Amino acid sequence: MKKFQPRPGFVVQAYRFALDPGAVQEKALRSHCGAARAAYNWAVSWVSASWWQRKAEASYGVPDDQLTEWRTWSLPALRKAFNQAKHTDCRFADWWEENSKEAYSTGLANAAAAFDNYAKSKQDKRKGKRVGMPRRKSKHKARLACRFTTGTIRVEPDRRHVTLPRLGMIRTHESTRKLQRRIANGTARVLSATVRFERGRWFCSFQVEVSKNARTAARPGVVVGVDLGVTCLAVMADSAGEVQYVPNPAHYDAALRHLKRLSRRVSRRQGPDRRTGGKPSRRWAIANAERNHVHHRVANLRQDGLHKLTTAITAEYATVVVEDLNVAGMLRNRRLARKIADAGFAEIRRHITYKTGWAGGETIVANRWYPSSKTCSNCRVVKAKLPLHVRVFACDACGLVIDRDENAARNLAALAAAATTGTGVAGDQDAQASNPRGADRKTRATTRSRKATGGRAGGANLLHQRQEETRDRHQDTEAHTSVTPSRTFPVETPRMLTFD
Do 343 and 391 lie in a common domain? yes
The number of residues in the chain equals 500
Q: Is the per-residue pLDDT at 321 higher than 70?
A: yes
In a domain, 65, yes or no: yes
Higher pLDDT, 259 or 480: 259
For 246-288, what is each residue's pLDDT tens digit? 999 999 999 999 999 999 999 999 999 888 888 999 999 999 9
Do 190 and 227 lie in a common domain? no
| Structural domain that includes position 48 | 35-122
For 149-170, what is each residue's pLDDT tens digit? 999 999 999 999 999 999 999 9
The reported pLDDT for the residue numbered 388 is 86
The reported pLDDT for the residue numbered 492 is 41
Q: Is the per-residue pLDDT at 471 higher than 70?
A: no
d(CA 159, CA 183): 12
Do 205 and 308 lie in a common domain? no
Do 359 and 398 lie in a common domain? yes
Q: What percent of the chain has pLDDT over 90?
A: 59
The reported pLDDT for the residue numbered 87 is 87
Do 40 and 18 lie in a common domain? no
Closest CA to 191 of 240, 153, 140: 153
Higher pLDDT, 471 or 80: 80
Q: Is the per-residue pLDDT at 430 higher than 80?
A: no
For the range 284-291, what are the long-range contacts, defined as Cβ-Cβ under 8 Å and sequence gap of 24 or more?
287/262, 289/200, 290/262, 290/265, 291/259, 291/262, 291/263, 291/265, 291/266
Do 330 and 206 lie in a common domain? no
Q: What's the chain's Rg over C-alpha atoms? A: 29
Q: Are 187 and 210 in contact (CB under 8 A)?
A: yes
Do 386 and 238 lie in a common domain? yes
Q: Is the per-residue pLDDT at 428 higher than 50?
A: no
Do 160 and 43 lie in a common domain? no
Number of domains in the chain: 3
Do 413 and 324 lie in a common domain? yes
Q: Are 179 and 207 in contact (CB under 8 A)?
A: no
As beta bridge partners, residue 194 has 147, 205
Do 104 and 148 lie in a common domain? no
For 52-103, what is each residue's pLDDT tens digit? 999 999 999 889 888 888 899 999 999 999 999 998 887 887 888 899 999 9
In a domain, 134, yes or no: no
The reported pLDDT for the residue numbered 361 is 87
Mean of the per-residue pLDDT values of the chain:
83
Q: Report the range of poorest mean pLDDT among 46-55, 112-121, 411-420, 465-474.
A: 465-474
Q: Are 153 and 208 in contact (CB under 8 A)?
A: no
In a domain, 324, yes or no: yes
Q: Is the per-residue pLDDT at 105 higher than 90?
A: yes
Do 377 and 316 lie in a common domain? yes
Residues belonging to the active site: 227, 323, 405
The reported pLDDT for the residue numbered 2 is 55
d(CA 357, CA 416): 17
Tell me the C-alpha to C-alpha distance, in Å, between residue 442 and each of 129, 357, 439. Answer: 20, 35, 8
For 181-213, what is each residue's pLDDT tens digit? 999 998 999 999 999 999 889 999 999 999 877
CA dihedral 401, 405, 409, 411 (to 10 degrees): 50
The reported pLDDT for the residue numbered 4 is 64
Do 383 and 330 lie in a common domain? yes
Q: How confident is the model at residue 480 (pLDDT cuts 50, 70, 90)?
A: very low
The reported pLDDT for the residue numbered 5 is 66
For 372-412, what is each residue's pLDDT tens digit? 999 998 888 998 888 888 889 999 888 889 999 999 999 99
In a domain, 449, yes or no: no
Q: How confident is the model at residue 496 (pLDDT cuts 50, 70, 90)?
A: very low
Q: Is the per-residue pLDDT at 490 higher than 60?
A: no
In a domain, 338, yes or no: yes
In a domain, 453, yes or no: no
Higher pLDDT, 156 or 447: 156
d(CA 231, CA 243): 16
Q: What angle do CA 496, 498, 500 make, to 5 degrees?
A: 170
Q: Is the per-residue pLDDT at 499 higher than 80?
A: no
Torsion angles phi and psi, residue 149, rounded to 5 = -115, -20
The reported pLDDT for the residue numbered 277 is 84
For 22-45, what is each residue's pLDDT tens digit? 999 999 999 999 999 999 999 999
Q: Is the per-residue pLDDT at 145 higher than 70?
A: yes
Q: Are 177 and 32 in contact (CB under 8 A)?
A: no
In a domain, 385, yes or no: yes
In a domain, 327, yes or no: yes
Q: Please state at what angle helix 282-316 crosses helix 345-358, rounded to 10 degrees.
A: 50
For 344-382, what is each residue's pLDDT tens digit? 999 999 999 999 988 888 999 998 888 999 999 888 899
